[in-house]
Structure 1
């Protein structure tokens, strides 16, 4: 399967790219508005993986070209760029493409981070609204520490919550998540539940801020 990470030069994109390239045989494509930046980062990911004995090719493209080649497109961009990014690649998506949205709207002040719910109800809903008709959107990977993901020496032992209205698309994303060692996907229901899932992220960040030794804290459910 081909997985494109649009905005794959950023923190969450880097973590997911490295983990999928390290733990699976899926083809990883790095997308960026700047194709040269995408190619440079793809080479850096290859070098990191090669240092760990993993011989894999990671390709970098402009976002549109990455989306055109992919089965699953991860919107690894800030929340305020989600709709614009989907619209910019819309003509490269078809009914077989699955969009994955891990972005969370947040605002920070002196006390910490707070959930900033967009008018669409959630960032996942924002992505789904911008997507062409027939393209399924799944919310996933919201509450993960990007630093912990990108550190291949770190064991995960974490859960990720999935929301979406297309059971088949959600099943595919669940299997992709499960293939990352130490990551357990859990079904959190339809896309209407995305706000509840996304709002956990600022809570996790605040816990990390106020508790020593919990910089890379995540969520598990028992």
Structure 2
């Protein structure tokens, strides 16, 4: 399967790119508004993987070109860029493409981080509203610590919650998530439930901030 990470030069994009390239045989594409930046990052990821004995090719493209080539498109950009990014590549998406949103809206103050719920109800809903009607949208990977994900020396033992209105799309994203060693994907229902999932992320950041040794805290449901 071919996976495009739009904004794949950022933290969560880097972590997912490295883990999928390290743990699976799926083809990984890095997207960016600046194609040269995407190519440079792709080379950086290849170098990291080569140092660990993994021979793979990661390609970098402008976001639209990456989306055009992919079966699954992960919109790994900050929440305030999700709508614009999806709209910019909308003509490259079709009903065979699955769009994945891991972004979370947050605001910080002296007390900590707080969930910033957009008018659409969730960032996943924002992505769904910007995508063509025939393109299934799935929310996933919201609550993963990006630094831990990108550190291939660290073993994962975390859950990710998956939301979406298309069962087949959710099954595909669940398969991709669980192809990363140490991640378990749990079905959290339709897109209407995305706000509850996304709001866990600022809670985890606050826990990490106020407790020693929990910088990369994650969630495991038992």
Distance 1:192 1:120 in 2: 10
Deviation at 1:86, TM superposition (A): 0.3
Structure 1 outlier segments of 4+, above 6 Å: none
Matched residue, 1:163: 163
Distance 2:201 2:7 in 1: 19
Matched residue, 1:142: 142
Deviation at 1:133, TM superposition (A): 1.4
Unaligned regions of 5+ residues in structure 1, if any?
A: none
Task: Tell me, yes or no, if structure 1 residue 43 matches structure 2 residue 43.
Answer: yes
Partner of 1:64: helix, strand, or coil? helix
Q: Normalized against structure 2, the TM-score is what?
A: 1.00
Matched residue, 2:82: 82
Deviation at 1:57, TM superposition (A): 0.2
In the TM superposition, 1:20-169 aligns within 5 A as 20-169=20-169
Partner of 2:162: helix, strand, or coil? strand
Q: Normalized against structure 1, the TM-score is what?
A: 1.00
Partner of 2:128: helix, strand, or coil? helix
Partner of 1:60: helix, strand, or coil? strand
Matched residue, 1:17: 17
Distance 1:111 1:42 in 2: 37
Distance 2:130 2:87 in 1: 6
Matched residue, 1:179: 179
Matched residue, 1:192: 192
Partner of 2:80: helix, strand, or coil? helix
Unaligned regions of 5+ residues in structure 2, if any?
A: none
Distance 1:190 1:132 in 2: 18
Deviation at 1:12, TM superposition (A): 0.1
Distance 1:150 1:184 in 2: 17
Partner of 1:15: helix, strand, or coil? helix
Distance 2:190 2:204 in 1: 22
